[in-house]
Structures are given as structure tokens and as C-alpha cells.
Amino acid sequence: MPQVLICNTVEEDRQGKMEGVIGDAFLAVPELGLTPKHVSCSFLPNNYELEDDVPVKIIVDFLFEKPERTFEVRKRLSVEIWTRCKELAGNRGVEVYIRPFNQEEEAFTAD
């Protein structure tokens, strides 16, 4: 299950909306085979006042590698997330990073 980390977060009242549009972005890329219930979002707290030039960073991690999850598909996901979150970030920029996870080469344990 992918984990989405949102750093330099938006105001608390916008976080639920941002989580919703990120879920919608996964739905918009059907090759992923994921729905919002397969995605977990975590908003990392800010320990300082953010300036307007500090972008919101969105990191999609633990996206298992599969043949259908090509670079082009992952790029589409990053664009979908960026497009949907840009408005919620206000004047701040948005950066989206997609980190695939190779379950054949990396160690993990799950039920």
C-alpha cells in the first residue's frame, strides 16, 4: 500500500481536502490498480513558520513495482497529484516525488 507523505503542509483545514484530491489522482491513473482506500496519507508537522516560497513536498513511497507501472504511468500520477494539489497550496509551489518499491530486491514484511 503506498504511503503519501506531505511535508511543509498546508493549513490544517485544507489537509482533508488535500487527502481527498490525492486519492482522486490515484483513481485517475487506472493502470495503478489502486483506489483511495489503498493509499495512506500522512501530514508531517511543521516545526517552524513556513515562508511563501517553501513548496509543499508530496512523496509517494512504497509504490510496488509492477510491469504496468511504467515510468510514464508514474509520471502521470505525479502530474495528477501536482495539478490537484496546486490550488490547495495557495501561493506556494508543489513538488511531487514518486518512489517505486521493488518488493523482489527490498526487504519488507507484511500480512
Q: Hey, what domains does the chain have and what are their CATH numbers?
A: 3-101 (3.30.429.10)
pLDDT at residue 48 in the model = 67
Give the pLDDT means over successive 10-residue stretches in the chain (111 positions). 88 87 96 94 78 86 94 97 92 92 84 73
pTM passes above 0.85:
yes
> Which of 34, 93, 26, 102 has the alpha carbon at shortest distance from 67?
102
> Which of 23, 12, 22, 7 has the alpha carbon at shortest distance from 59?
7
pLDDT at residue 58 in the model = 96
